[in-house]
Amino acid sequence: MNIGVIGYGRRMGSVVDKVLQQDPSVRVNAIVDVNRAGVEARVAEKGWEGIAYYDTVDEMLAAEHMDGVMVGTRCTLHTPMALKVLEKGLPLYLEKPVATDMADLLKLKAASERSRSPVVVSFPLRVTSLVQLVKEIVDSGKIGTVEHVQAVNNVPYGRVYFQNWYRDEAETGGLFLQKATHDFDYIQAVLRQKPGAVCAMTSKQVFRGNKPAGLKCVDCSDNRTCLESTVTFKDDIEPTWQYCCYAEDTGNEDSGSALIRYESGMHVSYSQNFFIRKGVAQRGARFMGYKGTVDFDFYTGVVKVHMHHTSRVETYELAPGGNHFGGDDLLAANFAELLHGRGESISNLSDGLVSAQLCIKAQQSAKTGMFQTLDWQL
């Protein structure tokens, strides 16, 4: 099984490794990446041989025999690259978000209807043991019909969205598309209800300032005292996270909230934050029915079921797993199966389109101050 890779960055490199671990018959035979020298060096360290490097995706698709393609470019290129792969009918692993604006979303939807390509979207949270257990409890009817959901994502490593390339809102589409896309997706996986409208609000209260555009920590006169300095305070900061998060060109909101209204009448509240640290980290949700509530947190690996009319509380402690709490391994195994023509995607393009539209509409709502209706003619 030969796979081509479009955009072999840090994240996609990790996912590729997992696919190869899941299925030893899979090998990478072609790569397209703007940083060819850097990729070749990383590949040499792995000892891989016989890989062809191309300057363009069109050249790779025309020249190589491949059984599947993995797309891990920066966000605005996800749709354009996916369109090329869908046209060839090859199995596709597509990083999230699947699109960063409605125009690309429409193109991707139309292309998917013409293509025979099976697609795995990088939504590992939906397949984690935590979410699967919550889904099992909800489906059992133990808590009754879910009538309200409260979800939260307090991100302890939020500085990456202000000190790395993610600070470019033109590239990311905002932090709903970067983070909430995962959370909206696992909520959809549990609820399996149809969202009708969304409203949202964002704030930028911390990571803003008047430092010069393009300033890096190493060049800043405050790099010995600044709490976000990559020069002195390294803890969980990688060397590449080096730009000043208090510069005038620092993009992205540092907190955001959304309300999603469903056709059934129930609604979901969601909030995310990017300046909290350490023990305040939290990612999870409460699914509330009349009979009871089930809640969980990815960081603790704990699921609790609180019965409303008795004093009973059930507690489940699950191992948190590796990257994305173990979900990456399951998606990698699923993609390997699709390469062999077996099974179905457990995180398909339809799921990606729903989540992306929710995020795009939430961003539009935050800018306009108005509810945004979802378009189900996509």
Q: Say what the pTM is.
A: 0.94
Q: Residue 187's closest CA among 255, 256, 259?
A: 259
Superfamily of domain 2-124+327-347: NAD(P)-binding Rossmann-like Domain (3.40.50.720)
CA distance 253 to 237: 20
The answer on pLDDT for 27 being more than 70 is yes
pLDDT on residue 319: 72
CB atoms within 10 A of CB 229: 20
pLDDT tens sequence across 255-280 = 999 999 999 999 999 999 999 999 99
Please calculate the CA angle 149-369-169 and round it to the nearest 5 degrees.
85
Is residue 171 within 8 A of residue 304, CB to CB? The reply is no
pLDDT digits (tens, 9 = 90+) for 211-258: 999 999 989 999 889 998 888 766 555 555 689 999 999 999 999 999
Q: In the chain, list all ranges with CATH 3.30.360.10.
A: 126-203+253-322+356-373
Return the pLDDT at 108: 97
Instruction: Give the amino acid at 300.
Output: T
> For residue 325, what pLDDT is reported?
73
Interatomic CA distance for residues 110 and 239, integer angstroms: 41
Residues 356 and 177: beta-carbon distance below 8 Å: yes
- Mean pLDDT rounded to a whole number for the chain: 94
Query: Given this model, what pLDDT does residue 229 score?
Result: 87
Question: In a 3-state reduction of DSSP, which class is residue 230?
Answer: coil
Could you identify the residue written with the tokens 């393609």? 69
**123 and 96 Cβ atoms separated by less than 8 Å:** yes
- CATH 3.40.50.720 domain position(s) in the chain: 2-124+327-347
Under 8 Å between Cβ of 295 and 302: no
The reported pLDDT for the residue numbered 234 is 60
Angstrom distance (rounded) from CA 229 to CA 16: 32
Distances (CA, A) of 193 to 185, 218, 261, 308: 12, 49, 10, 23
For 120-171, the pLDDT digits (tens) are 999 999 999 999 999 999 999 999 999 999 999 999 999 999 999 899 999 9
**Phi, psi dihedrals of residue 210, rounded to the nearest 5°:** -120, 20
Return all residues near 359 (Cβ < 8 A) that are at least 6 apart: 97, 173, 174, 176, 177, 180, 181, 184
Domain 126-203+253-322+356-373 of CATH type 3.40.190.10: no
Between 65 and 324, residue with greater pLDDT: 65
What is the band of 81 on the pLDDT scale with cuts at 50, 70, 90? very high
Could you tell me which residue, 321 or 241, shows the higher pLDDT? 241
> Is the pLDDT confidence value at 184 over 80?
yes
DSSP H/E element including 373: strand 372-373
Rounded to whole angstroms, the Cα distance separating 181 from 80 reads: 19
